[in-house]
Structure 1
């Protein structure tokens, strides 16, 4: 008889108990809703459909992650998030949103990221990193320092900023109080693509499980995508093909250095919410996002993370709980109609169990473990035509409020899931209302 012992996690640089299966795994997958079904993205398999959305912490030391980031991210890792994505991480020093943003432009920044990746893997969990360049929204202050509309957002040289070295597609400032950018030269564009390639290599050296390219929210890539912020007359401006050229060059550069089974994600703003400008002022909108999405599988993108806005100070968002979820659903439907292999991620205002469930629920899946009433409701939804908006739910602020969000959602949906072995005494009693 084999001795009973506390087995350690395989390949961990230190002893920590093995989590088999990882926290957040449904104990009865056959009857769990889609939200607690595994999701395979190339060579990476998540045990559920929750992802921690990248959230800037404005706490890095010259681009290096610190103990704050370890504590911040590990709380989600141990509580069952299928994928945790590190905040926007700049590929160049001048691409940081703030002087205190994360970076991967030099080798010394690998080790602090690897520490978090090693911890995630020791818990049986997955870690991603979002690579970014902030473009015309770079060199700005941490948001809690901007106490009123009259407070400039620009981080001056005295605040460790770089106000005279701001890159953009065109020399158009985001708004009053923001830096004045200059249009990038062709040489700078080429160097930027190389910087993205080098940052991807460093991410691999750190051991991350996937990379997300940040092409949303008015940062550099999305600034090239929008005809409102890209007024170039060279090969990177004008037509849809030209405005998307930088993005596809970055995708190719990253794909060039990662393994064939390595997942690549892309975040976009599906619309810049500037339709009120009228037909004479073309903007980046849902139609252009659908057009882009159809090209992504061939380019090597595996999942499209659908956000919106952030490109223009004058945006008019039609705010409601599903304002971005609906955009994801429309893109997913268009992709499905073409028979293309592209997963969709949805983000924004996901705060409760039923909303999280509804976003990814696939027709024919049982809703809960042993919840007959809910199973009847799902059957009725299927008969009426179940809408699946996305394949993955990316959650930000609710994780800050509730780091145990996946465990709490499981309890509220009646799904029994694995907790960390060290917390085995802490699970809520079956049927308890929380």
Structure 2
């Protein structure tokens, strides 16, 4: 693949991930971290950028996103993919993008509610851009992403050249554990689960450029992941600095969208809202287009469904659900997403192990069950539904429970254990064949 094509695909990957949530999260963290921003950002980048980049590299290594669940029983693998694409697509990810784009990009310019009209127009544009998946890289990588980067650079330069304030002393958890708090906040972006979904788009795009060998796909995926990581890390650093220097216009605990709105108004005056609207609308649109393609390509490859029909259904459902209110959607879909994220990461780790050395056929199933069980415990904790006595018990006995990653060590333990079983079984078969040959030779 040409260097230019790899670079454009990297830009596309960056734009697919960069939704409104990615722009809102870092300013709030930056404001609370204050003078500890560097430490907090280091932790944040490890999980918010490192995990998705790692996932892309592993998907490239295994060569086909279907291989992520190939070792599972067919019904279980299909269930995982359907739940994942439903959650990041029309059930949560896409409606959230529509509502955030409206609330931050359009609503400030009007006094009346125009969400219905906006969702229809936004969904129509999404469907138009997604209807020809072969042109996705051209639409996003060559046109929309450069425009988005230019807008972000404008905001970033203003923040560094003319900050509205100076970082204050850190507050809350950032006072004593800035790195750890950053790690947790980065994990909570849930971009690792989005990386599994976007893997369909990325791998298909690589193959569409004529790269079909396992080594070629793996090598290209690494380059794409590095470009994505560099761009996304730069964006997070800029947004974090915006938050840290917002002390004159915002107080601790303020939502990231409020910080951004006040900041662009302070830097650019009346025109600041137009700049913010352009950034938010572009970021949300690239995300909905990418998710539509990922969902439609999965149903096309797995169930032989028409791409056009599936994409239309997904976009229509997104527009309808967006108008029912995101708070109600969150109550239903957020628990599933909080469980799916550790399951997805655990399957990625199991697939990496399977591509590196011999593992037991039960590895993927065992890891999935373990991640689901302990991921459910973490989800209940994050949602604030864990009974106090039980929460105290898990806090004392389950490592990383307070970091919302209680699933990690049990899943790794199960992965290592089943991998050892797989290697032992493989060795027994090998020596069995040797013993048989020796016995035959002696008889002769």
Scaled by the length of structure 1, the TM-score of the pair is: 0.29
Structure with the larger helix share: 2
Q: Which has the larger radius of gyration?
A: 2
Select the structure that is richer in strand.
1
Higher relative contact order by CA 8 Å / sep ≥ 6: 1 or 2? 2
- With normalisation by structure 2, the TM-score equals 0.28
